[in-house]
Structure 1
Amino acid sequence: MKQRDRQQREAAASKVDVLMEALPWINNMRGKTFVIKYGGAAMENDELCRQVVADIELLKLMGIRIVLVHGGGKAINAQLKALNIPVTFKGGLRVTDDATMDAVQQVLVGQVNQRLVWALNEYGHNAVGISGADGKTLKAAPIDPELGRVGRIREVDPSLIETILEDGYIPVIATVGCGADGFYNINADVAAGKVAEAMGADKLIYLTDVDGLYGDINDEDSLIQSLSRAETHVLLESGELGGGMIPKIRSIAEALDAGVSEVVILNGTFPHSLLLEIFTDAGCGTMFTQD
């Protein structure tokens, strides 16, 4: 009995040590604004989604203002396949004709957004789902006629987001923008960066299904721990990036230029990576900082 009691005390003490390590981080983060972009496999797997949602709820309880921006690429691809609509990408962006735009709206606003809102609200009355068209939050214009209804964000109006935060909720934003001639498909990485800029966010987090940015995608030992703003621009201009990493790194560079203090790419498939990054000395992923 005494041996078991000692083991229980030691286990409890280790938990206390973790809390004590987190204490200064909690004090420092209270009242700050974090924009989290959520996507990839971390959002598709139900168990991983529950873990991420629990982490976000804990951050909210600790006094951090959370803005959640989500994509839904895999779900959109599945819907397009079911509708026999071809899937085409150009420069890391989805070519979006009118039929594809209808599918994007159905999936992002009607399915993915509401699933995340439901999951967050399982912990209480915590989340409100909106799209970028609500309150004209994401005002968009076409990027390129060849991309169809893919939009660039010409302005972010954070008024509705602020109202939701002030009322004690987490805004969950589906990245559908509005323009003079209708709706636009907005890249979620880009949208998260622009929202962080408009909110004057203290931290922008890209929660995805990779550990961070690699110097060589085929070499797992080449994970880059950190990059300065200047180094991020050099990388962006090097031509070494490919696919979906191009809009992500571009949005990171622009967010840093606009004054966002820190940006992090995290692997959301790793249990509680959000908490490890924010509340421990070690952190994880790739961090981008001001010079």
Structure 2
Amino acid sequence: MKKRDRMERDRAAGKAELLCEALPWINKMSGKTFVIKYGGSAMEDPELCRQVVADIEMLKLMGVRIVLVHGGGKAINAMLKRLDVPVKFKDGLRVTDDETMEAVQEVLVGHVNQQLVWALNEYGHNAVGISGADGKTLKAEPVNPDLGRVGRIREVDTNLINTILDDGYIPVVATVGCGPDGFYNINADVAADKIAEAMGADKLIYLTDVDGLFRDFSDENSLVAQLTRTETHELLESGTLDGGMIPKIRSVAEALDAGVSEVVILNGTYPHSLLLEIFTDAGCGTMFTQD
């Protein structure tokens, strides 16, 4: 019995040490505004989703103002497959004709958004779901005729988001934008970046299913811990990026250029990566900072 008690006491002491380590970070982060982009496998797996939601709730309880922006690429692909609609990408962006746009709206606004709102509200009455079309939050225009209804954000109206935050809720934003001729599919990485810029966010976090940025994706030891704004631009110009990482790193660079203090790419499939990054000295993932 005494041995078991000592083991339990030691484990409790370890937890207490972690809380003490987190104290200065909690003090520093309280009242800050974080924009979190949520996507990838961390959103598809129910258990991983519960962990991420728990981390977000913990941040909220610690006084962080959180805007949750989500994509839903895998769910959209599954819907298009059921509808027998071809899936096409160009330069990392989904080619979106009118039929695809209807599927995007149905999946992002009608399903993924509401699932996240439900998950967050299991911890209390904490979340409100909106799309970028609500309150004309994301005003968009076409990027390129070859991409169909893929939108470029020309303006972010933060009034609705700030109202939700001021009322004590977490806004959960589906990345469907609005234009004079209807709805547009907005890349979620880009949307999170533009929302962070417009709100003057203190931190922009991309939760994805990779550990961060690798100089060589086939080499797990090549993870980049930190890059400055200048180094990020140099990486973009190097031509070594491909696929979905191109718009992500471009969004990182634009956020830094617009004055966002820090941008982080984290692996949302790693247990409690959000809390590890924000409230421990070691952190995890790849951090992008001002020069």
Q: What TM-score range do you get, normalising by the shorter chain? A: over 0.9
Partner of 2:144: 144
Q: Which residue of 1 aligns with 2:114?
A: 114
SS at match of 2:195: helix
Hey, what does 1:94 align to over in structure 2? 94
1:281 is the counterpart of 2:281: yes
Q: 2: distance between equivalents of 1:5 and 1:271? A: 27
1:238: how far off? 1.1
User: Match of 2:25, SS?
Assistant: helix
> Equivalent residue for 2:43?
43
**Segments of 4+ moved more than 3 angstroms:** none
User: Aligned AA for 2:219?
Assistant: D
**CA separation in 2, counterparts of 1:106 and 1:223?**
36
Q: Cα RMSD between the aligned structures?
A: 0.5
Measured in 1, the distance between the counterparts of 2:285 and 2:62 equals: 22
CA distance in structure 2 between the partners assigned to 1:22 and 1:224 by the alignment: 24
Query: Using the alignment, how far apart are the partners of 1:183 and 1:4 within structure 2?
Result: 61
Shift of residue 65 of structure 1? 0.3
C-alpha separation between the residues in 1 aligned to 2:213 and 2:3?
46
Distance 2:222 2:239 in 1: 18
Q: CA offset at residue 171 of structure 1? A: 0.2
Kindly provide the amino acid, as one letter, of the partner of residue 133 in structure 1.
A
Q: Are 1:55 and 2:55 matched, yes or no? A: yes
How far off its partner does 1:7 sit? 1.6
Structure 2 distance, partners of 1:7, 1:112, is 42
Amino acid at match of 2:124: G
| Aligned partner letter, 2:102 | D
Shift of 1:2: 2.1
Other structure's SS at 1:194 match: helix
**1:79-128 deviations in Å (ceiling 9; x for gaps):** 00000100000000000000000000000000000000000000000000
Alignment of 1:124-203 (within 5 A): 124-203=124-203
SS in 2 for 1:114: helix
- Identity value in percent: 81
The unaligned stretches of length 5 or more in structure 2 are: none
Give the SS at the match of 1:59: helix
Q: Which amino acid aligns with 1:119?
A: A
Aligned equivalents of 1:172 and 1:222: distance in 2?
34
1:211-253: CA deviations, max 9, x gaps? 0000011111110111000000011111111011111001100
TM-score (ref. length: structure 2): 0.99
Q: Which amino acid aligns with 1:214?
A: F
Aligned length: 291
- Gapped regions of structure 1 (runs ≥ 5): none
Q: CA deviation at 1:41?
A: 0.2
Return the offset for 1:11. Answer: 1.3
